[in-house]
Amino acid sequence: MILIIDFGSQFNQLIARRVRELNIYCRIVPPDIKINDIKSINPEGIILSGGPSSIYEKKSPKADKKIFSLGIPVLGICYGMQFMINSLGGRVKKAKRREYGYAELNIRKMDGIFRKINKNTTSWMSHGDSIEKLPAGFSVIASTSNTRIAAAENLKKSFYGLQFHPEVEHTPRGKTMLRNFLVGICGCKRTWTMKNFAAHSISQIQETVGDKKVILGLSGGVDSSVSALLIHKAIGRHLTCIFVDNGLLRKNEAKRLKETLNKHLKINIKFISAGNKFITALKGITDPEKKRKIIGKIFMDVFELEAKKIKHVEFLAQGTLYPDIIESQSAFGGPTSVIKSHHNVGGLPLKMKLLLIEPLKYLFKDEVRRLGATLGLEESLVWRQPFPGPGLAIRIIGKITRKRLSLLREIDAILLEEIKTAGYYRKLWQSFAILLPIKSVGIMGDARTYENIAAIRAVTSKDAMTADWARLPHKLLGHISNRIINEVQGVNRVVYDISSKPPSTIEWE
């Protein structure tokens, strides 16, 4: 395994992705990780990430310098390189201006980290400070016209520093450089596959849970389904899943999910129909955060009531993913964590005195999908687009009524059908409809109408942290709009959302 020390670069998750794409397991850890913890993890190599700070800033993140005495290869990228050089007695020059963008790399030594790479190749720079003097034992292995020490090595100790970013696609041979470091220098075996992950994870769950019982809130989404399948493979009937129908799901979704889950996951599932409770409590509420709080609270109450009926439960399973963990441990705190109070079952373990198991907490979304496929999860579940816990409640802007719920369900069903038929469902991170709280004038036949407006949102994204509005073909958008206006009584206008995240969010509320 490889440890990536997180100095706060926006590219950190990319480093982890690249390492894992090479079938090598890695974890991102904060800079204040204790040296003894590193020793007990016993990584085959350490990568020091980039970061927005200058080592001259008082509060710049620092790792324990003892990492350089562990006898483990270290690769410092950008700020990581500067931290390494500064820690080992070299000198970093404070920048007058930043160097940002493409730079032609002149490689002096086409071996080690630059094995199988041409003498001249493109690199992507994004740095302020630069290295002025190397510590003893280091030599320059590449330069650019602006940066004399663009890459350096200490061959004896297997320390490498790259001033540019090998993890981004703008450095076309970056992946080969990382492979050279990981396989050639650290000696990692490329054995990390979803099959191995599953086997390892199943035995870990068995060890943790023993003969106790586990409950899991099943939403029908890929994360909770894959968690359920994995845990079921580990402990069988000792897992009980609870599916709460909150009355805020898409058209026919509760019914269809129930059929698929029953047919496909041969797991203990309790289906609880609680729509009335949710819809009654939401009456008259317009504030998005209030909606979330109400939904979260009722969900907890319903879930707890059901969970208490099961004897000897000691664990609660959750489908937490790696980006959530990285966000909350990042050197600079998660930027998005307070924007919306995402509804999850976070309060439950404390309330019910349960221990948490989160078998997916070191995986990215696409890895979870691959794991699902490896475990034999049905395609429709593996490829389901994410759906928020509060469901349609945060897609009906303003007051929620049964009438508006059913209106949105009809609109959304047409949209989804068309997106699927056109072959876009898997290409999009999410695609959905929103019902607006205003009316507009239209004309149908000879008559004036004054009806609702539906908005359509379709985005591409890798992890929902950022998202771009999808450039769907105009013909498809036109067709969707025609169908909605013709088939859904009460809608006379359809608009397409062309904003990206940030500054917008994916959901409207």
Active site residue 343: no
Dihedral over alpha carbons 396, 399, 403, 407 (to 10 degrees): -20
Cα 223 from Cα 364, distance rounded (Å): 10
Single-letter amino acid code for the residue at 373: A
Tell me the CA end-to-end span of the chain in Å, nearest whole number.
40
Asked if residue 502 has a cis previous peptide bond (ω within 30° of 0), the answer is yes
Among 343, 370, 409, 493, binds ligand XMP (CB under 6 A): 343
Q: Is 175 in the site for ligand XMP (CB under 6 A)?
A: no
Contacts of 381 (CB under 8 A, 6+ apart): 220, 222, 225, 260, 264, 372
Q: Per DSSP, what are the bridge partners of residue 376? A: none
Residues touching ligand XMP: how many (CB under 6 A)?
14
- What's the min distance (Å) between Cβ of 246 and ligand XMP? 12
Q: Is 372 in the site for ligand XMP (CB under 6 A)?
A: no
Q: Is 127 in the site for ligand XMP (CB under 6 A)?
A: no
Q: Is 12 in the site for ligand XMP (CB under 6 A)?
A: no
**Cβ(436)–Cβ(286) below 8 Å:** no
Please report, as residue ranges, which positions from 460 to 489 form the binding site for ligand XMP (by CB under 6 A).
464
Q: Which is nearer to ligand XMP, 143 or 431 (CB)?
A: 431
386-405 footprint of ligand XMP as x/- string (CB under 6 A): x-xxx---------------
**Cβ(299)–Cβ(345) below 8 Å:** yes
- What's the min distance (Å) between Cβ of 458 and ligand XMP? 13
Q: Is 217 in the site for ligand XMP (CB under 6 A)?
A: no
Among 233, 250, 292, 395, binds ligand XMP (CB under 6 A): 292
Q: Is 134 in the site for ligand XMP (CB under 6 A)?
A: no
Check 26, 44, 165, 367 and give the catalytic one: 165
**Cβ(428)–Cβ(456) below 8 Å:** no
Task: Using the rule CB under 6 A, give the single segment among 42-50, 96-104, 266-274, 501-509 that binds ligand XMP.
Answer: 501-509
Single-letter amino acid code for the residue at 413: A
Structure tokens at 124: 């992507």
Q: Which is nearer to ligand XMP, 173 or 291 (CB)?
A: 291
- What's the min distance (Å) between Cβ of 247 and ligand XMP? 16
Tokens 């399948």 identify what position? 229
Q: Which is nearer to ligand XMP, 165 or 343 (CB)?
A: 343
SS3 content of the chain, % helix, strand, coil (to 5): 35, 25, 40
- What's the min distance (Å) between Cβ of 419 and ligand XMP? 16
Q: Is 30 in the site for ligand XMP (CB under 6 A)?
A: no
Q: Which is nearer to ligand XMP, 374 or 505 (CB)?
A: 505
Task: Using the rule CB under 6 A, give the single segment among 134-142, 262-270, 320-328, 381-389 that binds ligand XMP.
Answer: 381-389
Q: Which is nearer to ligand XMP, 396 or 506 (CB)?
A: 506
3-state secondary structure of 488: coil
Q: Which is nearer to ligand XMP, 161 or 388 (CB)?
A: 388
Check 26, 44, 153, 167 and give the catalytic one: 167
Among 60, 224, 430, 452, binds ligand XMP (CB under 6 A): 430
Among residues 230, 241, 222, the alpha carbon closest in space to that of 201 is found at 230
Cα 461 from Cα 247, distance rounded (Å): 28
Active site residue 78: yes
Q: Is 293 in the site for ligand XMP (CB under 6 A)?
A: no
Q: Which is nearer to ligand XMP, 213 or 501 (CB)?
A: 501
Task: Using the rule CB under 6 A, give the single segment among 143-151, 325-333, 382-390, 486-494 that binds ligand XMP.
Answer: 382-390
Q: Is 365 in the site for ligand XMP (CB under 6 A)?
A: no
Q: With b meaning 16 or more CB within 10 Å and e meaning fewer, what string describes 317-328?
A: bbbbbbbbbbbe
Q: Is 327 in the site for ligand XMP (CB under 6 A)?
A: no
3-state secondary structure of 491: strand
Q: Is 501 in the site for ligand XMP (CB under 6 A)?
A: yes
Tokens 């379709």 identify what position? 458
Interstrand relation of 313-317 and 213-217 (parallel, antiparallel or unpaired): parallel
Q: Is 323 in the site for ligand XMP (CB under 6 A)?
A: no
What is the SS3 assignment for 165-228?
CCCCCCCCCHHHHHHHHHHHHCCCCCCCCHHHHHHHHHHHHHHHHCCCEEEEECCCCHHHHHHH
Q: Taking each helix axis as running N to C, give the angle between helix 12-21 and helix 322-329, from 0 to 180 degrees, rounded to the nearest 10.
A: 140
Q: Give contact residues for ligand XMP (rule: CB under 6 A).
A: 292, 340, 342-343, 386, 388-390, 430, 464, 501, 505-507
Residues annotated as catalytic are 78, 165, 167
